């Protein structure tokens, strides 16, 4: 299996640091699985090549005004035309850091990834209010699960 298939890309945006804490917890969990390359990157630094060269993607976004972060939307806008065909079937899931209920941010992300024809392989993690140790543990479990799926060739 090529190295791209064994790479987990965790994309995030943060202003307060909370979503970054969640993304880092996802990465901690993923690193529990040996043989998987884990890459964590701010959305503004992620290219179309980064998206096509990973085996799975975890999108971590804060909820702003009931919507995803603008930097996450910008990533989708910058890469769509270049990779919409090559991204089809790639595994993904979402982590939302929500001040409200997170449904608006989640719905907006899922509406866009439908155009990429990505395949959601795990239920999203939506953290409401302040980030708790329980939220961080759920993110570590999510990262470990996705990484294990990559290692086994399921995703």
Q: In this predicted model, what pLDDT tens digit does every residue of 61-105 receive, in sequence order?
A: 999 999 999 999 999 999 999 998 999 999 999 999 998 899 999
| Domain 3-152: top CATH class | alpha beta
**Tokens for 98?**
């929500």
- Indicate the range of 5-9, 38-42, 135-139, 144-148 predicted with least confidence: 5-9
Note the pLDDT tens digit of each residue in 103-155.
999 999 999 999 999 999 999 999 998 899 999 999 999 999 999 999 999 99
For 123, counting Cβ atoms within 10 Å of its Cβ (0-12 exposed, 13-18 middle, 19+ buried), the class is exposed
C-alpha distances out from residue 94 to 2, 23, 32, 138, 150, Å: 24, 10, 19, 12, 16
Strand partners, 64: 67
Note the pLDDT tens digit of each residue in 22-37.
999 999 999 999 999 9
- Look up the pTM and report it: 0.95
Q: Residues with Cβ < 8 Å from 152, sequence gap 6 or more? A: none
């Amino acid at each position: 299996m090529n190295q791209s298939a064994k790479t987990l890309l965790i994309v995030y945006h943060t202003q307060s640091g909370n979503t970054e804490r969640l993304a880092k917890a996802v990465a901690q969990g993923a690193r529990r699985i040996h043989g998987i390359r884990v890459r964590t990157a701010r959305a503004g630094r992620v290219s179309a090549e980064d998206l096509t060269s990973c085996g799975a993607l975890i999108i971590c976004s804060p909820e702003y005004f009931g919507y995803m972060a603008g930097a996450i939307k910008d990533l989708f806008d910058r890469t769509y035309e270049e990779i919409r065909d090559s991204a089809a079937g790639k595994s993904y899931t979402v982590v939302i850091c929500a001040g409200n209920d997170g449904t608006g941010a989640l719905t907006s992300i899922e509406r866009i990834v439908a155009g990429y024809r990505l395949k959601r392989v795990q239920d999203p993690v939506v953290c409401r209010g302040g980030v708790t140790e329980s939220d961080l543990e759920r993110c570590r479990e999510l990262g470990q699960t996705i990484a294990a799926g990559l290692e086994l060739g399921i995703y």
